[in-house]
Structure 1
């Protein structure tokens, strides 16, 4: 018996378990389906390339065939390891636009406006630049400038300025618009995941039990109250149970949190009945409103630019030297997150705020880095910040070990494609500026042949995919198709909260990791307040 059982040891779950177990009188159990975060490919920032190439530390999830992607299945890499996706991502630290959170509040979610959530961003953060009106020091989550940025990342920023975009030295400050280098979740030359910040330093706490390799199979209910979790170690292990005296906290992410609710009988009643699952609570919004940032990449070949990453004899020599330097001093080539620079720009001057995000990668990135590409070069992502398309997560099977059906419905709304076409052209505009053009890099044929709007649209449909930010499938709000209330409690049930990116009413304008950490920090205060109220009662 524990006070709290946390399902999922990713960004949100690590925060919950670490924070709640700060009170020695509170007993916390964390169930994580993946292993401990011990791999060198996790801790070495450039290890992301190896993890992407061989799909390490992930669930191996794909989407259903996407009409908007000409029938292709999209790749959905989600972390299956302590730290979750913060252990396998590109470490970019972005909060989003202040208006994102004011929009959440305007949808009936009191306490989620920018002024409400900003203190939780600050509580989480230790920014190596120091504290000011927008940043703080002393938090568990380390945020830093890149140790050894590639010179071509600076060239991209210069090209962006030449194209008419402001130079922004802090995307998390007063204004998001512009181009610049990203801050990242590094510490001393290593990845600083949510697990490294919040969880693994405290594994010796006697009131904290972390169980890895534990796949949750269903949430246990007594009447309308969640009282525990059933789980299995490995695919063949016996079913086990762990009980929660106060609350079950579901933090399995935007794809697996709705799946576990449905496996537990909480979700659209007709869909559950189709799979032979007894309906414990008919909640039609579970798994609905899924959305994500669609993204497409322009790749440029530059065989003569040997200080970019690439597969060549000189590239291999540089990598070996980089390994030695990283092992010796945690500096050099392998401290890169690859997506070192980027920006937030408008697809048209009439847009009130940036509706596009750019990620500049110091290597040739094809098919999420899974396709081997010879030679050197660089790449530029453009993603749509506020897609209108909405999809779903549904059950493929009542088998808890089967992955769910994921349908982000990319480009179902025509406005999304129109903005992406404009974004593609604006990105190409930057890449053609003198700061980069002087080096003679050439677009790969697949995108270079796309010149008209119709050709660009077909290139996007043939090559676009996620940039790894699924949200919204357990949406927060007061409506009949919302899943949790403003305190993240599942509507109609007791003792159960969802705490992860699935609760976002609308996706944030940027990378989702920092906002997910913020959500969990805020949830901790809500959980503690409920415990105090219960004790008083």
Structure 2
């Protein structure tokens, strides 16, 4: 069967597009997703859980072979030591990141989207995108000019009376530091602390798959959803994309369509383009791939938000409990301005996690997770490691490639430390330490019985005498840098940040949208790939710059806007 549109990737963008395009009954849509289905009547309990820590660490829902470089990779000095590869959890399940993420439903700053337009994405300014943010959401708390009431994704905030003692102490520390309380993170964009906005209703996650691919949508005769289906290659006739070769439950099939849309995210969408011969000429020739279209920006200028963490041990009385009404681990956030002369307001963000992982030790460890909301590091890239479609690409984020990001994280760590030592947080926590999301942390975070029993044993010791707990944290938890070291020595603090900074799974900008005369633009403002016909990209890879936000809602907005564009074209 031939289709009008084939969507490759059933994540957040793909779910939106499948719903909106198939709403036109004559428009035949095929949605391909490499991972498993999450039908409304059979959602895995780990995904539906309001606490996201189990889904996020469950390898059933990941591209398990994907590893990336987060530190700067030197290409000018071949003798330089290459930084370590890190696992980078990218979703492989219907709903994509929205099925496993922290359910953070924020939009970014109005200045982000005005910058998009200034960089060549005409028609994508704040006034243009706000209606689509409103179209996405069904806000359960507010009804004003900022919010939508009819969208497919419910949005809400956990009231302060339902916060655990640690979250309340963090809010008190923010207040003591001079920050004002904001009732609505997605209202006027200004500095302050707030209850984080979440895509959640009735204490359950509402992913893009659940919101947009509900039973009524799935019943449409013109929509076909094929899960456990990995795209192998794009099919071209000349320079027109006419279909996709995919492996469905182990069997290779070819599907044809008038148009193909890649919605595979900022790592896998550029990889598909490169394997098809669309990309930088030098790299394609190095890989032995015939050049179909010379598009220098494919895979270039990859971005993420650089992030660090300050963690501490939570006293028993202040911990989260499964009996807590919300079971949410991140309840309060802080947005503030670094006052870097060229940076917009609200360029820094701190999320307070009152539980660091699903297991027994995670319940005992709180973290202040800070990231550079407005990052200037945009020298990352995605390249092919092999022509083999089964091979993951080479991914280099090059975080902290701009010194301004490093300086702001150093200042942020000192600010978080001061708040950590202030009376409200000092009353509910002990033993602060600079935290690293290391391979050891990842390994113990995998959901299995071995880790369940191991963390119970460690947790029992951590709840023992203070001296034992401090020794255990210094000996087995801290990785190379103590709290005293980084607070007393700026060189140690810089070394810690350079080593420990990771992205926050907001991969973006590797197939940027821009003007026709921009040599690094990969798609136009209607998401059409330059140099070929019948092919679009709709996901976070087309962002001109990563916004000051968790990227899920900007992706949903982008897909809503592009769906209207595609339908308007006929």
TM over 0.5: yes
Q: Is the CA contact (8 Å cut-off) linking 1:355 and 1:386 kept in structure 2? A: yes
Structure 1 counterpart SS, 2:541: helix
> Equivalent residue for 2:413?
424
> Aligned in 2, Cα 1:370/1:254: closer, same or farther, shift over 3 Å?
farther
Q: Deviations over 1:11-61 (max 9, x none)?
A: 100000011111111111000000012311000122x22234443411132
Name whichever of 51-60 and 337-346 sits farther off. 51-60
Cα deviation, residue 469, structure 1 = 0.6
Per mean C-alpha deviation after superposition, the further-off stretch among 487-496 and 150-159 is 150-159
Indicate yes or no: 2:343 matched with 1:308: no
Cα–Cα, structure 1 residues 30 and 296, in superposed 2: closer, same or farther, change >3 Å?
same
Whether 1:493 aligns to 2:532 is yes
Pick one of 242, 246, 254 that aligns with 1:241. Answer: 254
- In the alignment, is the contact (CA less than 8 A) between 1:254 and 1:470 conserved in 2? yes
Distance across 1 between alignment mates of 2:50 and 2:429: 29
Tell me the CA shift for residue 463 of structure 1.
Answer: 2.0
Give 2:220's match in structure 1, choosing from 205, 215, 231.
Answer: 205
C-alpha deviation, 1:512, in angstroms: 0.6
Question: Residue by residue, what CA displacement relative to the aligned partner does 1:239-263 show, whole Å, maximum 9, x if unpaired?
Answer: 2111112x21110001100001111
Aligned mates of 1:261, 1:90 — CA distance in 2: 29
Look up the match of 2:369: 381
Distance 2:70 2:549 in 1: 25
Shift of 1:372: 7.5
Q: Can you list the C-alpha shifts for 1:392-450, whole angstroms capped at 9, x where unaligned? A: 00111111111111100011222221111011112222222222222242203545131
Larger mean CA deviation between 352-361 and 14-23 belongs to 352-361
The answer as to 2:517 corresponding to 1:455 is no
Within-5 A mapping of 1:239-318: 239-245=252-258, 247-302=259-314, 304-309=315-320, 318=321
Aligned to 1:329: none
**2 CA distance for matches of 1:397 and 1:371?**
37
Instruction: Name the TM-score, length of structure 1 as normaliser.
Output: 0.89
Deviation at 1:380, TM superposition (A): 0.4
Partner residue in 1 for 2:348: 356
> Quick one: distance in 2 between partners of 1:112 and 1:404?
30
Q: Secondary structure at the match of 1:230?
A: strand
For 2:16, the equivalent position in structure 1 comes to 15
Aligned residue-pair number: 502
Q: Which moved more, 1:90-99 or 1:343-352?
A: 343-352
Report how far residue 66 of structure 1 moved: 2.7
Mark the CA change 1:109 to 1:374 in structure 2 (over 3 Å): closer, same or farther.
closer
Instruction: Tell me the equivalent position of 1:49.
Output: 53
Corresponding residue number in structure 1 for 2:243:
228
Which whole-Å CA distance do the structure 2 matches of 1:395 and 1:75 have between them?
17
Give the structure 1 partner of residue 335 of structure 2: 344
Q: Which runs of 5+ in 1 are unaligned?
A: 310-317, 323-331, 532-537
SS of residue paired to 2:392: coil
> Is 1:471 matched with 2:508?
yes
Alpha-carbon spacing, 1:186–1:440, altered in 2? closer, same or farther (3 Å): closer
TM-score by length of 2: 0.84
Query: Aligned in 2, Cα 1:41/1:215: closer, same or farther, shift over 3 Å?
Result: same
> Whole-Å Cα distance in 2 between the matches of residues 477 and 54 of structure 1?
37
Q: How large is the Cα RMSD of the aligned pairs?
A: 2.0
Cα deviation, 1:297-325, whole Å, max 9, x if unaligned, reads 111012x324524xxxxxxxx54xx4xxx
Q: Distance in 1 between matches of 2:420 and 2:70?
A: 32
Question: How far has the Cα of 1:155 moved from its partner?
Answer: 2.2
Q: Provide Cα deviations, 1:336-355, integer angstroms capped at 9, x if missing partner.
A: 34222111112348665122
Instruction: Identify which range, 458-467 or 500-509, moves more after superposition.
Output: 458-467
8 Å contact 1:52–1:370 — kept in the other structure?
Answer: no
Query: CA 1:349/1:163 → structure 2, altered by over 3 Å: closer, same or farther?
Result: farther
Q: Does the 8 A contact of 1:258 with 1:393 survive in 2?
A: yes
CA distance in 1, matches of 2:514, 2:304: 19
What is the CA–CA distance in structure 2 between the aligned matches of 1:159 and 1:292, rounded to whole Å?
A: 28
**Which secondary structure does the structure 2 equivalent of 1:424 belong to?**
helix
| Aligned with residue 148 of structure 2, among 136, 151, 168 | 136
**In 2: Cα distance, 1:212 partner to 1:173 partner:** 37
Worse-superposed segment, 483-492 or 337-346: 337-346
Residue number in structure 2 paired with 1:105: 117
487-496 or 9-18: which moved more? 487-496
Q: Which residue of 2 aligns with 1:171?
A: 185
Match of 1:520 in 2: 559
CA distance in 2, matches of 1:122, 1:65: 34
Distance 1:305 1:49 in 2: 20
